[in-house]
Amino acid sequence: RPIDGQNTSHMGFAEQRFTTAVDEEFRCPICRDVLDEPITAQCEHVFCRACIHEWLSREQSCPVGRQPLKVHHLQDVTRFFRNYYTKLEICCDFADSGCQFVAKVDEIKAHENQCPFNPDVKTECPNGCTAMVTKKELSAHDCVQYLKNIIADKNAEISRMSDRESDYKRKLLDFQITIKTKNSEINYLNECLFERRNQTSDKGSVIIPSTSRPTASDNKQRIPCGRHRNQRLPEPYHRV
């Protein structure tokens, strides 16, 4: 029987679920059921993980040998022990509900978490409304109300998307106005730059060699700037 004072809400596997007889070495000394997630103490006694953790929350000694024991002293069982332990075959916990699945003891929980006979596993509503419900919830499930809720959620989503669309349109209009303003500024600056270049060109004269003989009127022109302001142009040059 379980060790006195042990809360049996955390127990190992019931022996009747196994396809063959289970050796005593695979029984938890705390709950007396077949080991579930076996773990060993430094004194080599093996327990269910949940059982020994609950025990050590109240006691600081091995429940069998009474040697001092703390949680950090616990460790995985040896490979030899695990190899024999994992050969045990066990039926699904929902066999009474109709499940006929049999698996290795270390694989059974993965199946039970998805077993179609598990009342806590959600499956699609058999009436075709696409709702995922557990068997416990199926009797109170209302397909019409479920579909109404979906429609309401979709309408709310459409409304939120419409609001975002309006916001994006306002932002786009602001961007277009900003771009137009910037383009106007760029055009104005280009015009200013063009005028400044023309003004700079008008203030100075460019003198280039002449290939033709200057006329008398050309010789009367004066250089417009510099210390030779009153000097006449030499014959080989003319103003352009």
One domain, residues 198 and 235: no
Q: Among the three residues 113, 137, 161, which one is the final residue of a domain in this structure?
A: 137
One domain, residues 130 and 53: yes
One domain, residues 109 and 42: yes
43 has a pLDDT exceeding 70: yes
Tell whether 40 is covered by a domain. yes
Q: Which of 117, 150, 115 is nearest to 131 (CA)?
A: 150
Q: What single DSSP character describes residue 3?
A: P
One domain, residues 95 and 196: no
One domain, residues 211 and 114: no
Q: What single DSSP character describes residue 104?
A: E
Number of domains in the chain: 3
Q: Among the three residues 137, 164, 179, which one is the final residue of a domain in this structure?
A: 137
Q: What single DSSP character describes residue 132?
A: E
Tell whether 5 is covered by a domain. no
6 has a pLDDT exceeding 70: no
One domain, residues 210 and 131: no
Cβ burial of 163 (10 Å; 0-12, 13-18, 19+) is exposed
In this prediction, residue 225 carries a pLDDT of: 47
In this prediction, residue 236 carries a pLDDT of: 46
Tell whether 217 is covered by a domain. yes
Q: Give the domain range for residue 198.
A: 140-202
One domain, residues 99 and 133: yes
One domain, residues 74 and 157: no
Q: Among the three residues 80, 105, 137, which one is the final residue of a domain in this structure?
A: 137
One domain, residues 73 and 114: yes
One domain, residues 125 and 149: no
Tell whether 1 is covered by a domain. no
Contact (Cβ atoms closer than 8 angstroms) between residue 2 and residue 30: yes
Say which CATH number the domain at 94 has.
3.30.40.10
One domain, residues 228 and 155: no
Tell whether 10 is covered by a domain. no
Tell whether 2 is covered by a domain. no
Main-chain phi, psi angles of 64, to 5 degrees: -105, -60
In this prediction, residue 221 carries a pLDDT of: 47
Tell whether 29 is covered by a domain. yes
Q: How confident is the model at residue 200 (pLDDT cuts 50, 70, 90)?
A: confident
Give 119-171 pLDDT, tens digit per residue: 888 878 888 888 888 877 878 888 888 888 889 999 999 999 998 998 999 99
Q: Which of 118, 72, 121 is nearest to 93 (CA)?
A: 118
Tell whether 188 is covered by a domain. yes
One domain, residues 179 and 107: no
